């Protein structure tokens, strides 16, 4: 509905854009790519929503009646999405997959003053399908020098730890000693609890006696 040619409420469109950006953060590469394609389409169509790319940290430049973003609002019109900023794009621009990071960077550079609409011919479904196929042959680039250094460091640390006396699994523990220590420990705890109970009873008894003495004094005064 938000991607057709009809005009929509700006607050509702901004809320959906914000949800798409948040969804892209914790989704897979293919899902994030489809969400970003939809997000870019909506920003290109709704020029006023591009203020989400330029809002300051203290509130949106076009915040409307709601000055603070409410992500859990059930009504998107009351979420105050226009008061937020698309900070998710900054994180997505550092995504491990180059396609996702490139698209996030391109979205971040959209201008609020550009009124021309250049919609991509690629649909979210196509973006998801293409990236899903690419993931079968995609591999993250790793610097071999850093990888070898970390591997050597890890092996050295493992070797050092294996030689330590704390990792000797053949140490025998006397079961009777353990039972004795546990018995002493729980006996001490029982004594502490009993001591606290007796102190409470003593305090209650003392209070009752004091109240009774005060009652007797007042009764004597009345009889006089």
Highest mean pLDDT among 26-40, 73-87, 182-196: 26-40
pLDDT digits (tens, 9 = 90+) for 121-149: 566 666 666 666 565 455 555 555 665 66
Q: What is the pLDDT of residue 143?
A: 58
36 and 114 co-located in one domain: yes
113 and 180 co-located in one domain: no
126 and 186 co-located in one domain: no
Domain span at residue 102 reads 10-134
Alpha carbon distances (Å) from 52 to 4, 13, 71, 114: 21, 11, 15, 14
Asked if the structure places residue 144 within a domain, the reply is: no
118 and 55 co-located in one domain: yes
Assigned token pair, 211: 């109240």
- pTM for the structure as a whole: 0.50
Percentage of the residues of the chain whose pLDDT score is greater than 70:
62
Q: In the structure, what pLDDT confidence band is assigned to residue 116 with cuts at 50, 70 and 90?
A: very low
Query: Which whole number is the average pLDDT over 56-67?
Result: 50
130 and 79 co-located in one domain: yes
47 and 126 co-located in one domain: yes
* Domain end position, chosen among 106, 134, 162: 134
């Amino acid at each position: 509905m938000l991607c057709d040619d009809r005009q929509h409420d700006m607050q509702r469109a901004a809320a959906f854009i914000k949800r798409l950006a948040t969804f892209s953060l914790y989704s897979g590469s293919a899902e994030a790519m489809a969400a970003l394609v939809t997000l870019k389409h909506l920003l290109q169509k709704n020029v006023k929503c591009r203020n989400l790319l330029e809002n300051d940290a203290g509130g949106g430049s076009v915040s409307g009646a709601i000055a603070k973003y409410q992500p859990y609002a059930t009504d998107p019109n009351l979420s105050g999405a226009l008061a937020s900023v698309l900070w998710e794009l900054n994180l997505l621009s550092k995504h491990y997959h180059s396609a996702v990071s490139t698209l996030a960077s391109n979205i971040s550079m959209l201008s609020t003053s550009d009124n021309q609409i250049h919609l991509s011919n690629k649909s979210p479904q196509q973006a998801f399908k293409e990236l899903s196929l690419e993931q079968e042959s995609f591999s993250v680039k790793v610097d071999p020098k850093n990888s070898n250094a970390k591997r050597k460091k890890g092996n050295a640390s493992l070797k050092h730890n294996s030689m330590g006396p704390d990792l000797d699994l053949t140490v025998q523990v006397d079961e009777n000693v353990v039972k004795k220590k546990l018995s002493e420990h729980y006996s001490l705890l029982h004594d502490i609890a009993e001591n606290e109970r007796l102190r409470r009873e003593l305090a209650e008894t003392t209070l009752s006696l004091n109240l009774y003495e005060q009652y007797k004094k007042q009764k004597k005064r009345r009889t006089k």
